[in-house]
Chain A
């Protein structure tokens, strides 16, 4: 069975500092990896997905199949980045496959 691990429950950085949210997964095949974000009092929303290889709000994530990781990075954190971040994977397609989530990391960006 697939599994997603986010080792940090809490992460604090200062505005302008680089930030990296870690995500490791276990699955023997080729999963699709996602980062979802939940801002305060808002619903869960997709931040980015590895197959699109795009940068959203300055965030990027590279899939490392050798290390089975999909860490989320941003070179200069902003206060508005403070939120709960979930790493998730699916197998079998974005609609057919269930999403398996990690436990989440609360990112706090201090002024």
Chain B
């Protein structure tokens, strides 16, 4: 049981390049989410999904696309990277047990856009 895995751990992009951050979970969780962490800003929700085929925008969705074709995977796509997207990105998965909502986070991807 690997939990939530993210690849790559580090990435450097040039302005205008595109890339996909990968996220996978093996806990059969229905919820998956992407957050970015910036100094002094906490974690901000980018996009989230409540099940395969269902996605919705979070607080800061501009510049990012997501899709959820399977329960396990939730990739985050940067279409045209900008320096403002330099951040640490965390993927999370979770489930509602009927009395508790628990979300588990991956180790993060540190992205630098030059």
B and A form one assembly: no
